[in-house]
Amino acid sequence: MATFPMDGHAALRFTGVNLSGAEFGAVPTPGNLGAYGSAYIYPTAAEVNYYMGKGMNTFRLPFRWERMQSTQLGALSAAEVNRMDTFVNYATAQGATVIIEPHNFQRYYPDPGNFQQSAQGLVGSAVPDAALVDFWTKLGDHYKNNGRVIFNLMNEPTTLPTEQLVTTTNQVIAGIRSTGATNIIHVPGNAYTGAHAWTQNYYGTPNSVAMLNVVDPARNIVFEAHQYFDYNSSGTAASGDSNPQIGTTGSPNNTNIGVQRLTGFTNWLRAN
């Protein structure tokens, strides 16, 4: 995980890792969110110390929306907020940045059998935009006084009209800013926010077109792209396997795969 400067010779501002655990466990269902300590955990101070000792300064903290807010428009869970606070407060006190991120693929209580692409729980259709706006307004208000906390609106939205995603995104940003929060906001695109897919029309309008309509009154957003370097950009193929003609094992390394996958996205950033 890294945020790159426009000047390729400048130092990286953010370098870090994902610290998973809070998003672990079975897909939450109403009344069954999973037990803390067995189904899921939060990262520890020891992990912060270890990675900062390796030169890292940024930690992405995935979690489940349903555990933080078990009913639409309801109060945030005091226990879950306390767990997040324990990690966030420690890490940021050491000078690190923490990116908090609901690992929900733009869904709330989705079908456990198809949780990434489920029509059930999809924000903007099955679940009203107001639910995600309410969630982020409350969480944003909670962390607005800690400038080392970045708000990553959602992990890898997918399988919805891109215009629908933009409509929701603008409402969520407005909700966060209404609290007075000026924190950096990470804005994901559609199609798992893949850099390789940024200019593709997989779900109608490409991210490269639709995301130009994202509005932040504070002008403090970062467009987020994810990229795996295996043959189908899924992160599931064998290491270094980047030849789509051969399949998932034994393919020769393509040493230009990173440049090829990222060029469309980085060109879009420079142009806009």
**pLDDT value at 199 more than 60:** yes
Report d(CA 141, CA 162) in Å as an integer.
Answer: 27
Q: Is 50 a domain residue?
A: yes
Domain that holds residue 186: 2-226
Residue 78 lies in a domain: yes
Classify residue 270: in a domain, yes or no: no
How far apart (Å, rounded) are the C-alpha atoms in residues 230 and 227? 9
Of 7-21, 44-58, 246-260, where does mean pLDDT reach its minimum?
A: 246-260
Residue 247 confidence (pLDDT) above 50? no
Question: Would residue 159 count as lying in a domain?
Answer: yes
Residue 262 falls inside a structural domain: no
Whether residue 15 is contained in a domain is answered as: yes
Contacts 24+ apart (CB under 8 A), 237-245: none
CA–CA separation, 235 and 257 (whole Å): 13
Give pLDDT, residue 6.
Answer: 40
Give all strands (DSSP E) within the chain, no chain letters.
2-3, 14-18, 58-63, 97-102, 149-152, 185-188, 221-224
Q: Is residue 98 part of a domain?
A: yes
**Residue 188 falls inside a structural domain:** yes
| Domain containing residue 6: CATH number | 3.20.20.80
At 229 the pLDDT is 78
Q: What is the pLDDT of residues 108-118, one digit of tens each?
A: 999 999 999 99
User: What does the block give as tokens for 166?
Assistant: 């933009």
pLDDT in tens, 141-175: 999 999 999 999 999 999 999 999 999 999 999 99
Question: Rounded to an integer, what is the distance from CA 121 to the centroid of its chain?
Answer: 18
Query: Is residue 57's pLDDT more than 80?
Result: yes
Q: Tell me, what's the pLDDT at 10?
A: 59
Count of domains in the chain?
A: 1
- Looking only at the bridges linking them, the beta strands covering 185-188 and 221-224 are parallel
Among 71, 83, 99, residue whose Cα is nearest residue 42: 83
Residue whose token pair is 């935009």: 129
